[in-house]
Amino acid sequence: MAPRKPASGPKRRTAEKPPPDPSELKRQGAGLHATGDGRFLVEQSANGWMVTDNERTNELGLPLVRGPFATLVEARDAVTAARSGPLPISNLAERIAAIPKQAPGSSRAARRPDRPTTPPAPLPPVLREFRSRDGDGLRALWEGVGAAPADVDDMRLRTFAQRNPGLFLVVAQGDEVIGAGLGGWDGRFGWLHLVAVVEAHRRGGLGTQLVRRLEAGLAAVGCRRVRVVDDGGPEGTAFWAAVGYQPDAAGYLSRDLEADPEGPGRTDEPPPPTRSG
């Protein structure tokens, strides 16, 4: 005997969803609404509510935008009016046509004769302490004057600056390093080395300023005599003589300072022989 099939009940009819109301605004997100047919977007801006018509475009081919409106109710009313009202009239095309056309071959500078054509004045040199980003500029400076020390990487430069606060000076013009000088103290003598200025900025007092600032820093820690590690040849010797350095008994160019007797002590290893410019 074949099994009986269970009696099937009446089928339930699913209610059909009504089509979306084209005039109803549905919230899409914070400050953003859209009509049921997707034609209009109503978005809140800093100046009020803006209505974007995705079926109408302006003279530039972009969606037509109306507003701003003070409230969302006013924006909804603008949507209703836009469905049946005429297109807004813009004079953009007329304003574009009224702009004078530039003659062929003319330049913007020719239409603005009052615009200055001279280049801006260069920034003044600034004497300051070493900064960690100065490494590339310092190496370029020392290589340019033939005084590049071996294996001077950024870590060694930072270490020297930390051990000798106030005695690692840089002359910068904007982002360019145009001069530098290092000072150290071994507890007995102060040492100046790698004092250099690029050729284009020499004989303007920058080298002298570097030396005097380094001397002041050494005097503040109790240094009484400063020696130059390397005179830099005939041109360097003339510079050091001009700033008061003369040969001492040990053969170094040196100069005596008036040290601050209350200055803190500091012991550094004498710097290795290098070229000063």
Nearest CA among 264, 225, 224, 271 for reference residue 248: 225
pLDDT at 273: 40
∠ Cα 209 210 216 (to 5°): 90
Whole-number mean pLDDT of the chain? 80
The residue-averaged pLDDT of 227-251 equals 87
Nearest CA among 121, 51, 119, 127 for reference residue 88: 51
∠ Cα 126 129 134 (to 5°): 85
The rounded distance, in Å, linking the Cα atoms of 82 and 75 is 10
pLDDT at 260: 47
pTM over 0.75: no
**Could you give the percent of the chain with pLDDT greater than 70?**
73
∠ Cα 168 171 175 (to 5°): 115
The residue-averaged pLDDT of 85-105 equals 67
The number of C-alpha atoms within 13 Å of 111 and in the hemisphere containing its C-beta is 9
Highest mean pLDDT among 37-46, 61-70, 81-90, 208-217: 208-217
The residue-averaged pLDDT of 209-232 equals 91
Helices (H), the chain: 72-84, 92-97, 108-111, 135-144, 154-163, 206-220, 233-242
Task: Name, in order, each residue with C-beta under 8 angstroms of 254's C-beta and a sequence gap of 6 or more.
Answer: 189, 225, 226, 227, 228, 245, 246, 247, 248
Does 67 have pLDDT greater than 90? no
pLDDT at 99: 76
Does 214 have pLDDT greater than 80? yes
The residue-averaged pLDDT of 52-80 equals 82
Does 232 have pLDDT greater than 90? no
pLDDT at 108: 57
pLDDT at 275: 40
Tell me which of 45 and 6 has the higher pLDDT.
45
Question: For the ranges 79-88, 155-164, 176-185, 256-265, which has the lowest average pLDDT?
Answer: 256-265
The rounded distance, in Å, linking the Cα atoms of 36 and 65 is 18
**pLDDT tens digits, residue range 24-37?**
788 888 888 888 88
**Could you give the percent of the chain with pLDDT greater than 90?**
35
CB 218 within 8 A of CB 227: no
Question: For the ranges 144-153, 186-195, 234-243, which has the lowest average pLDDT?
Answer: 144-153
CB 214 within 8 A of CB 179: no
Q: What is the pLDDT confidence band of residue 57, given thresholds at 50, 70 and 90?
A: confident
pLDDT at 159: 92
pLDDT at 9: 57
Does 227 have pLDDT greater than 90? yes
Highest mean pLDDT among 92-101, 148-157, 172-181: 172-181
Does 217 have pLDDT greater than 90? yes
